[in-house]
Structure 1
Amino acid sequence: MQTVELEIPDVIWRSHRENIGFVIDEVKKGLVIWEYLNGRLTIGECGEILKTGYRGFLELLWNTGIPADALNEDELAHQISLLRKFTDQQ
């Protein structure tokens, strides 16, 4: 993984200077979501990058109000199989 230097506005620095790690995490999440929405990363790849796993990334999308209807065919099939496993256990 590459490292980049990023300039942030003073207002963000003043608000978060005590916890700059939060800003770093949020920037990383934002970039990964952006790449997902533009079709350059899959849900699985996003989960790996953010170390949340597949479901964790889906939950991140849901929690931020981003619909997961951009699922490709493989991702949709994966979700259906997970739902079937869950309902079979009930």
Structure 2
Amino acid sequence: MIPLMGLVSVVSLHWAQFLRCSGRGGNRALRYRLEIAAVPLIYIVCVMAVIVLFELLPYLEEFVRGLRANAGRLIPPKARRGSPGQTTLR
């Protein structure tokens, strides 16, 4: 959902340019050119640090908590009881 919301935000802020790019705006004879700009290394390092901090660490922390709660097993003992496909106790 986040990439879609980012696209909607950019399109809504630059509606006239979006119409021109889609062929519905005033100047239809647009020329596209590829422009490659070098991204500073500090920007890449900061973005990767934020990704690790807010995305990866919470998942790892939850994984470790689950292992501790299940005595180091990936599947809790309660789920192993009974026949296959019947994982709930009634």
User: What is the TM-score normalised by the length of structure 2?
Assistant: 0.29
User: What is the TM-score normalised by the length of structure 1?
Assistant: 0.29
Indicate the structure whose relative CO is greater, using CA pairs within 8 Å and at least 6 residues apart.
1
Q: Which has the larger radius of gyration?
A: 2
